[in-house]
Amino acid sequence: MSHSPTDPADVLIVGGGSAGAVLASRLSQNPDRHVVLLEAGPAYTTAEYPAALLDADRIADPDHDWDYTSRGGARSVEIATPRGKVLGGSSSVNAGAALRPRPSDFARWAEHDLADWTFADVLPFFRALENTPTGEDAYHGRTGPMPVRQRADDELTPAQRAFIEACVARGHKRVHDFNGAEQNGAGGHAVNVVDGVRQNTALVHLPPQVRARPHLTVHGGVTVDRVLFRGTTATGVVTADGTTHLAREVILSAGAYGSAAILLRSGIGPTEDLTALGIDVLAALPVGRRLQDHPFFHTLYALAPEHLTMTPALGALLWTASSEAIGDTLDLHVVAAHPTEAPFSPTGGAFVLSAALVDPESHGTLRLAGRDPLHAPLIDHNYLGTDRDRRRMLEGVKLARDLARDAALAPLLGDLLIPNELPADDDGLLRAVESNLAVYGHPTSTVPMGGPGDPHAVVDTIGAVRGVDALRVVDASIIPRIPSTVTNLTTIMLAERISHRVYGD
């Protein structure tokens, strides 16, 4: 159905990524509800998706990116920060990892006065969103929309299998289903990839039969500036070109960077930040003050000439605890993967061991550089901002280094290519790590969810923004504390659960 911006939608969704595409599909199941979805990037149909966005072995795409950079830390002052700018959002350009948080991750959400987001509360929604042929029924869904596949050993490259063998040789358990009962150990990755095709949320949740619904309108190429209000009630949005789209309710699903920036431009945020930019304060809330992502450090090796298989790119994972992990927390990842291409390798093949601290203490910030919606926000991750974070990250990098030297894996690897050396002493190694940090690509918590007793909360337990009406945020930005794993399935789950709780769909 064609839609005039001046014809109020029942629900206007800003952003068609991992959450927004799900919401558009779910909310438009009701034929009496007119839903409008505004996406800043191209709104491809299923048949139009470029090959680069379908190939799960290609991560990030310059033609569908927001071109953000961020400050990682004191020695990594500007690092690439890819985010997908296309229908499907970052689920269209990520590595296809499909992992759930652990029960302990959700237990920590209770510290934010959220009693109704336990693992028991969310597991039915994780099960309902997926279809997977393996694993225990108690943990898995068979008929949901999102294909999730646990990689079996025969799907892995020789280097990925050797990585798992090295982990086991060093005392780690063998895990055969990271979305099952046990995560502490090494095994093949779970992915939302089928026959090499990344199953992004636009493909899965907005197929042709959904896009054809007469009460769903999808606009691509529309960048939203701010939310429009009458008093404290949201009545629509204003786009970067000045167009007004009216609505009875607005949902921001523009991601941890985008949703926070739209709120700030709308006068919802810290008073001092807004007044410094000449923005009138509508609601003084701590938007952008609790940013978290997982710091990442890559070591890249040449593959031995007789072991050059590099597909699939993402294959194996070690999920484990540092010596300073608290309780049953698993705070380290070591990811075993292959780059898309390896022209820099003397053998033509390469293997990446990447260490991540997945339970960081540190928080970063997101602020506006100015009022122009086409200007990127100022993103400061403040990675390794505490001594404990630095010690644990160093432990993870040493673990990756030791695995590369293990008898099971070392014969498959050639020279270390990136960085050019891994110093033996802790001070030198820490400098190398801090100078070469990367994003894991899981930004959260810029618009945190929390109960009445949580001073950090911007939205309530169902995404409603405090102090205003008819405005919700539903995406990774509302996660109150970053989980110890990748965030795509969690973002989808948030959309599924909130749409069910609020709209009953």
Residues forming the active site: 442
Question: What is the token pair recorded at 281?
Answer: 């304060």
Our CA angle for 338, 298, 391, nearest 5°, is 145
**Spatial separation of the C-alpha atoms in residues 260 and 75, rounded to whole Å:** 26
Render the burial of 36-46: b for 16+ CB within 10 Å, e for the rest.
Answer: bbbbbbbbbee
Say if residue 312 is preceded by a cis peptide, omega within 30 of 0: yes
Name 292's bridge partners: 444
Q: What residues have CB less than 8 Å from 53, skipping those under 6 apart?
A: 44, 61, 64, 86, 88, 92, 93, 198, 200
Both tokens of residue 365? 């910030």
Contacts of 438 (CB under 8 A, 6+ apart): 72, 79, 80, 295, 296, 297, 298, 354
- The tokens describing 493, both together, are 């789950």
Question: Of 417, 439, 438, 419, nearest to 429 (Cα)?
Answer: 419
The SS3 of residue 172 is coil
Instruction: Specify the amino acid at residue 288.
Output: G
Q: For 95-139, what is the HEC assignment?
A: CCECCCCCHHHHHHHHHHCCCCCCHHHHHHHHHHHEECCCCCCCC
Which burial class, exposed, middle or buried, applies to 240 when counting CB atoms under 10 A from its CB (0-12, 13-18, 19+)?
A: middle
3-state helix, strand, coil in the chain (%, to 5): 25, 25, 50
CA atoms of 255 and 14, how far apart (whole Å): 10
CB burial of residue 204 (10 Å; 0-12, 13-18, 19+): buried
Cα-atom radius of gyration of the chain, to the nearest Å?
22
Torsion over CA: 72, 76, 77, 82 (sign):
negative
Q: Classify burial at 219, counting beta carbons within 10 Å of its beta carbon; exposed 0-12, middle 13-18, buried 19 or more.
A: middle
**Count of CA atoms in the C-beta half-sphere (13 A) of 169:** 16
Q: Is the dihedral of CA 156, 95, 475, 381 positive or negative?
A: positive
